[in-house]
């Protein structure tokens, strides 16, 4: 009993040390970024450095220090705890904040194209990445992955994480259509990857035959994704209805109710979906989208400002934590460099680039086929391809794979960290110069944006817009706010 208590005390102390370390690094990171932002205004290198690069560098330096002082207990706590911490605590507020604060009009205007990239394009990328990794192993020159594990890694590494790109877009006045395509893909893509990863894990548990497993994954993926969307959307609409009725029934301040709904409801959406064994991430994203459209107009002006500021601060802190963890992992974790080998990494890296290219080119072709205006040109496609960062989601899932797949899981983690580092430092450095090279800085012609589209899709969008206006928005948004909301944006392409 005494020994167990001592072990428990040591474990508690290790957790406390890890928490204290991350809090100290967050404060240090914020101080350095603030100093950098002041210097950046007059420095010629401002185009090639961004906050995620600084945060990751601080994480790398922290990992070096922890290795030198042999802080193994704290390092183990970070490694064991990050995956669940990220998926349960860090990621939901980041995605909810993104969904709530995005511009709903251009999002719904390009709703179909965003889903082409985020869902069908990601599935294409998973298949291509899986095939190239598996075929590379058959040559005998690189570490061979079994087909089922190649599918698992293909699903986790296909999640793009363009956090650095989003940061660049805010200061570069990027074309509105291009910005919303990247932004929309970023908040849906992680959900697609996580859902497919979980489905492949389920296939490994219940099927020995690879072909049956893949068929189950495809069916299970779409079923889980659609049901998760419904859960999130319905819960978001219910929150809007509660706020509307409370506003109509009382003239008193409802600030407390607003805060409770805006903070509790997203987590309720997430937890209900998880309890039903669906995707909490998909659910919370569409809960955020529906709340942005129907619930937020029912908030008081002060409530909107406070909620926006709080979620923005939380999202910023959690994103910084993620990059710190990536930097620490590069140095502090026992990675399988020799087991991975240069050959497997090169095959995987080029597979990712080619899969992203196939995603963008094929989905852009389909999108342009149905567009009479606002077609996605070659320069925009190049930028979409280049903005396919791998980061937080892939890192968290690769850490989780270490526990389940051990040897192969550690190889997955090693490749993922190295790919994420290349994305952060190389792609992050050239993302702003690329915007200028491709002449994507100026916003699109507003007249072109307003041109109506013709055809079957345009009629479907018009019907959806009319249904939303007559039956959803009219019942969920308080009357004095309706005149300030654009309800016809779904009609446009």
The per-residue pLDDT for range 409-455, each reduced to its tens digit, is 999 999 999 999 998 888 888 887 888 888 887 554 444 444 555 55
Q: Does position 483 have pLDDT exceeding 60, yes or no?
A: no
Give pLDDT, residue 478.
73
User: Hunting for tokens 């903005």 — which residue is that?
Assistant: 387
Q: Does position 41 have pLDDT exceeding 70, yes or no?
A: no
Compute the average pLDDT of residues 100-108. 74
Give pLDDT, residue 257.
79
Out of 36-45, 84-93, 179-188, 348-357, the most confident range is 348-357
Give pLDDT, residue 448.
44
Q: Does position 255 have pLDDT exceeding 80, yes or no?
A: no
Cα gap 152→148, rounded to integer Å: 6
Out of 210-219, 246-255, 308-317, 321-330, the most confident range is 321-330
Q: Does position 200 have pLDDT exceeding 80, yes or no?
A: no
Give pLDDT, residue 133.
93
Give pLDDT, residue 140.
83
Compute the average pLDDT of residues 368-392. 86
Q: If pLDDT is split at 50, 70 and 90, which confidence band does 234 have?
A: very high
Q: If pLDDT is split at 50, 70 and 90, which confidence band does 262 have?
A: confident
For the stretch 128-142, what's the b/e string if a residue is b when 16 or more beta carbons lie within 10 angstroms of its beta carbon?
A: bbbbbbbebbeeeeb
CA atoms within 13 A on the CB side of 349: 16
Give pLDDT, residue 206.
54
Q: Does position 408 have pLDDT exceeding 80, yes or no?
A: yes
Please, are residues 95 and 279 in contact by the beta-carbon 8 Å criterion?
A: no
Cα gap 253→245, rounded to integer Å: 13
Give pLDDT, residue 5.
55
Beta bridge partners of 160: 390
Phi (first) and psi of residue 139, to 5 degrees:
-70, -25
Q: Does position 256 have pLDDT exceeding 80, yes or no?
A: no
Q: Which two tokens stand for residue 135?
A: 């075929």
Please, are residues 189 and 118 in contact by the beta-carbon 8 Å criterion?
A: yes
Compute the average pLDDT of residues 390-394. 78
Domain 2-451, CATH:
1.20.1530.20
For the stretch 292-321, what's the b/e string if a residue is b when 16 or more beta carbons lie within 10 angstroms of its beta carbon?
A: bbbbbbbbeeebeebbbeebeebbebbbbb
Question: Which pTM does this prediction carry?
Answer: 0.81
Provide the angle, in degrees to the nearest 10, between the axes of the packed helices 122-138 and 176-206. Answer: 50
Nearest CA among 455, 467, 469, 453 for reference residue 109: 453
Out of 93-102, 299-308, 396-405, 416-425, the most confident range is 416-425
Compute the average pLDDT of residues 34-40. 77
Distances (CA, A) of 484 to 293, 447, 488: 12, 21, 12
Q: If pLDDT is split at 50, 70 and 90, which confidence band does 235 have?
A: very high
């Amino acid at each position: 009993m005494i020994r167990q208590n001592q072990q428990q005390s040591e474990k508690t102390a290790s957790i406390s040390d890890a928490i204290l370390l991350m809090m100290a690094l967050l404060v240090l990171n914020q101080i350095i970024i603030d100093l950098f932002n002041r210097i950046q205004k007059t420095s010629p290198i401002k185009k090639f450095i961004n906050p995620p690069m600084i945060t990751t560098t601080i994480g790398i330096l922290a990992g070096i220090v922890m290795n030198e002082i042999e802080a193994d207990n704290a390092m183990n706590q970070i490694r064991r705890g990050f995956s669940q911490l990220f998926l349960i605590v860090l990621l939901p507020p980041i995605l909810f904040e993104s969904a709530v604060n995005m511009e709903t009009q251009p999002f719904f205007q390009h709703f179909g194209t965003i889903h082409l990239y985020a869902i069908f394009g990601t599935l294409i990328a998973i298949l291509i990445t899986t095939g190239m990794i598996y075929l590379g192993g058959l040559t005998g020159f690189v570490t061979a992955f079994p087909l089922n594990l190649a599918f698992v890694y293909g699903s986790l590494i296909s999640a793009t994480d363009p956090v650095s790109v989003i940061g660049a877009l805010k200061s570069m006045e990027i074309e509105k259509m291009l910005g919303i395509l990247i932004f929309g893909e970023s908040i849906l893509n992680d959900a697609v990857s996580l859902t497919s990863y979980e489905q492949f894990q389920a296939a490994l548990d219940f099927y020995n035959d690879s072909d049956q497993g893949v068929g189950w994954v495809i069916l299970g993926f779409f079923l889980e994704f659609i049901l998760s969307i419904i859960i999130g959307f319905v819960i978001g609409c219910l929150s809007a209805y509660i706020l509307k009725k409370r506003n109509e029934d009382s003239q008193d301040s409802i600030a407390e109710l607003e805060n409770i709904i805006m903070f509790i409801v997203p987590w309720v959406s997430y937890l209900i979906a998880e309890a039903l064994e669906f995707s909490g991430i998909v659910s919370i994203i569409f809960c955020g989208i529906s709340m942005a459209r129907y619930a937020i107009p029912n908030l008081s002006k002060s409530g909107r400002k406070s909620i926006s500021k709080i979620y923005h601060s939380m999202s910023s802190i959690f994103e910084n934590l993620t990059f710190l963890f990536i930097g620490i992992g590069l140095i502090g974790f026992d990675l399988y460099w020799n087991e991975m080998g240069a050959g497997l990494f090169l095959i995987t890296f080029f597979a990712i680039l080619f899969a992203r290219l196939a995603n963008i080119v094929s989905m852009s072709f389909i999108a342009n086929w149905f567009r009479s205006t606002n077609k996605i040109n070659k320069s925009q496609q190049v930028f979409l391809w280049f903005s396919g960062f791998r980061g937080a989601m892939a890192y968290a899932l690769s850490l989780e794979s270490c526990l389940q797949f051990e040897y192969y899981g550690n190889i997955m983690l090693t490749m993922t960290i190295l790919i994420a580092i290349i994305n952060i430092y190389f792609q992050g450095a050239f993302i702003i110069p690329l915007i200028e090279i491709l002449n994507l800085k100026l916003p699109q012609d507003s007249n072109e944006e307003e041109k109506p589209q013709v055809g079957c899709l345009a009629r479907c969008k018009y019907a959806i817009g009319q249904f939303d206006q007559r039956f959803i928005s009219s019942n969920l948004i308080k009357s004095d706010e309706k005149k300030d909301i654009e309800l016809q944006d779904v009609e446009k392409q």
